[in-house]
Structure formats: structure tokens, C-alpha cells
Structure 1
Amino acid sequence: MRNPWWNSPESASSEGHVAARRQAFGVRLSVLVCAALCLALPVHAQQPSGDFNRFEITPFVGFVAGGEFEDPLDGADRNVNDDLGWGLIFDIAADRDRHYEFIYIRQGTEVSGEIPLDMDIQYLHLGGTVALPEARHVVPYIGLTVGATRFSPDIGGLSDETKLSFSVGGGMKVPITRHFGLRFDARALITVLDSDSDIFCVSDPPEGACRIRARSDTFLQYMANLGFIAAF
């Protein structure tokens, strides 16, 4: 007799569902951009013209969207639910416009299915950003990071998975005073997977079964967040 924990009916995602997820993420992204711009308007005159700060610490919160796996039994899609994410960015200035960057992101979410799978997704990356030269009041930038993604299913017996990943994106910083400011950041998070390989497998014999399968060579998520900069 089959263990019902491993069974789920075929529920392939429709194009309408995918479009709805993208639209919802777009709305959230627009809200964060508008919030950052509105907060920036009254503080332009407060941006100092002195020397730049050497270090920046930015705690942030935002929305994480995207991510898809496959059911190993019936090939049905198992989407990762869009959810809140939070994290921390630590910057070290190489000069006024270039920063080395350490970033940590965590999302607590759920993988869809007849029996949903709770899961934490964590990113730990190193990289850097390059800002638009001479920008002062609102400072646009682009960035690239590389590191690792850790998938941690919240079910006993399932093994965690750690994979190579990288991110590309951009955003803007809005200085309020010399030592404080706001940061809006949006990026694509790309994790490298082995196509059609089983993951989240039961580590204790004799079951030896796996919960889901990688759908392609990459696991793609998008994140938009708003953070508070403390610089020194």
C-alpha cells in the first residue's frame, strides 16, 4: 500500500496562474518603489556633501516570488508560494561608487501540493555594487553576487540541500542624513540545480524515497525589498 504522504493528484500550473503570480509580484514591486520615492522626496536637502562612509549595514524586508519544482510521481508542478522574505546586507566601500557586499536572505514558505511542504530557503552571497557616478540625493546602482542557496524542508527525515547560486539586480539608495538612509533593492536569484534530479529525499532507510524533483537546470526567484541603512 502506498504511503499517502507521497501521493498528490496532478495539478499542473495554468498560464493564467503563472500570469497572476507575476502580476501580484509586479504590484508589490510598484508599491515598494513608490514608498521609497515618497520617503525620498522630503529628504533631498539633507544629503551631506562630505566624505563617504566606509561601512553600511542594511536590515530589510520584502517579497519573494517564483520557484518551481516537480512531483516525482506524476510530473505535476509544485510551486513555491510567494511570501515575505527578510535579511541583512553588509557593504564595505571600495570608493564612493563601488561597494563590496555580503547579503543574507531568508524566506519561510510552502511548496504546493495535496500535502504542502513547509520549507525555509536561505541565500548567503558575496559580491558588489556599482553606483551611478556623481549621484547624491537618490543613488541608483546595479549589483551582482554569488554564493549558495540552502533549502530546508520542515519535515523530519528529509535532507537539506545546498546549491550554488548567484543574483543580479539593482536598486537605489536614498540618504537621509550622513549616517542613515533608505535602500530599495530588486534582484533575480538564480540557483543551479541538476536537471531532473530528485531532491529532499528521506535519509533514513528503508524508505529511500524523494519528495520532489528539480524541474530544470535552474531554480529562479525574484525579490523586491525595502531596507534601512545605518552607515559609518
Structure 2
Amino acid sequence: MKQLLSWALLAALYPSLLLAAENEGRQPLRWQITPYLGYGSEIQFDGQDDSGNASADAGSLFGLSIGKETADPGLIEVLFSHQKSTLSPSQGTDLNISYLHFAGALIFENSLRPYVGAGIGLSHFSAYDSTTRPSLALALGLQPRLGEHLALRAEIRGYGTFISDNSSFICDPKLCNLYLQGDMVTQAQANLGLTFRF
């Protein structure tokens, strides 16, 4: 009876022992929090017909990502960034640009830990009025580890936001005649942050 119980216990524990053996020598998969600062490129808005064009000036931004490491190795995360930009020509108000994305990255294991990533989510533009539109993103970056619980993160991330015709969030329609056209506006970001792993 004792021998039967021993074999049953070994059979029950076998999957756990096998998983432990497979993960031996690997670093544990951790959660990551990365506050970052960055610089967003200019955004060009094309106006309909003779309504003119407008642009949002390049400028500084801040952001935060929260993610979970995967065994690929990779990362699944939620990212948020925000930028306040001046409009040219002036529309009497600034443009606030925010991105909220669900993203993934594939990391290549070497000392610099380069990665490629993609994301999908929402872009929010707010000036005279506001609009929230779907958007996509692609990223290239590096995440070298400074220790078990700390890493540096540097990346270039490009966003493409799908806009609708006749969008007039930039200015008061009673004071200006800027109605946007086109299917997509794009922006690039250069970001630098510090990753905390726990």
C-alpha cells in the first residue's frame, strides 16, 4: 500500500517536476512597469478642398507601460502616452494627443535585448472639441538589463490613426473652415524609460 501511495504521489508531482526542470537556469517571468519620457514628431492634418492644412508641432511627451513577460521571450503590455502640442496655424487652443494601446513584443536574447513590437488601441485628440479614433502601432527598441529587477528601455514607436472625413475637432467651425480629409494621420515617437521588474 505504501508503495502504491508513493507511485501515485510521484505521478501527481511529475508535471510540476518536469516544468521545474525545463525552467531551470531561466530567469523567472516578471511583471514590468516602465515610466518613460519621449519626443513626438509633427503631425500633418490635410484640410478638405481650400480649407487649408494644419499641423501639430513636435514636442515632448510622457508615458507609462505595464506589462507581463512571456516565455517566447517576449512582452505583453498596456501603454499610455500623452503629449501637448501647439497647432500651426494657431487655432486659439493647443492639441492634446493621447494613445492607449494593447501591445506585444518579441525580444531577441543578447546583451542589448533588441525587440520588435506591434500594438492596437485608441488615439484621443482634444483641442476645440475631441475625438477618439482607432489606431495601430509598430515599434523597434532595446531593453538591456541593469540588474535582476531593473532595465533600461529605448524605443522608436510609430502610430497610425484612422480619422474620419469632416472631423472638426481642431477648431471652432464658426471661426475657421478646417475640415480634415484622408484616412490616416501618422506620428513617430522616440522614448526612453526605466523598467522596474517585480
Q: In 1, distance between residues paired with 2:188 and 2:171?
A: 29
The one-letter amino acid of 1:76's match is G
Deviations 1:201-229 (A, max 9, x none): 778xxx76766332421010000111001
The one-letter amino acid of 1:144's match is A
Of the three residues 42, 49, 65, the one matched with 1:89 is 65
Give 1:91-130 correspondences, 5 Å limit. Answer: 91-95=67-71, 97-115=73-91, 117-130=93-106
Q: Return 72-81 or 92-101, whichever deviates more.
A: 72-81
Q: In 2, distance between residues paired with 1:101 and 1:73?
A: 41
Give 1:1-232 correspondences, 5 Å limit. Answer: 51-71=27-47, 74-95=50-71, 97-115=73-91, 117-132=93-108, 135-153=109-127, 158-194=128-164, 196-200=165-169, 212-232=178-198
Residues 48 and 181 in structure 2, CA contact (< 8 A), matched pair in contact too: no
Residues 72 and 210 in structure 1, CA contact (< 8 A), matched pair in contact too: no
TM-score, normalising length: structure 1 = 0.68
Q: In 2, distance between residues paired with 1:126 and 1:209?
A: 37
Taking a change above 3 Å as real, the CA distance of residues 225 and 208 of structure 1, as seen in their structure-2 partners, is same
- Residue identity over aligned pairs, in percent, reads 24
Q: In 2, distance between residues paired with 1:118 and 1:211?
A: 17
Q: In 1, distance between residues paired with 2:170 and 2:95?
A: 14
Coordinate RMSD, CA, aligned: 2.3
Q: Return 138-147 or 62-71, whichever deviates more.
A: 62-71
Shift of 1:75: 3.3
Taking a change above 3 Å as real, the CA distance of residues 63 and 201 of structure 1, as seen in their structure-2 partners, is closer
Q: In 2, distance between residues paired with 1:76 and 1:62?
A: 30
Structure 1: gaps spanning 5 or more residues: 1-48
Q: In 2, distance between residues paired with 1:51 and 1:214?
A: 50
Q: In 2, distance between residues paired with 1:56 and 1:103?
A: 12
TM-score, normalising length: structure 2 = 0.79
The one-letter amino acid of 1:94's match is T
Structure 2: gaps spanning 5 or more residues: 1-24
Stretches of 4+ aligned residues off by more than 4 angstroms: 207-211
In our comparison, the structure showing a higher alpha carbon Rg is 2
Shift of 1:179: 0.4
Residues 161 and 199 in structure 1, CA contact (< 8 A), matched pair in contact too: no
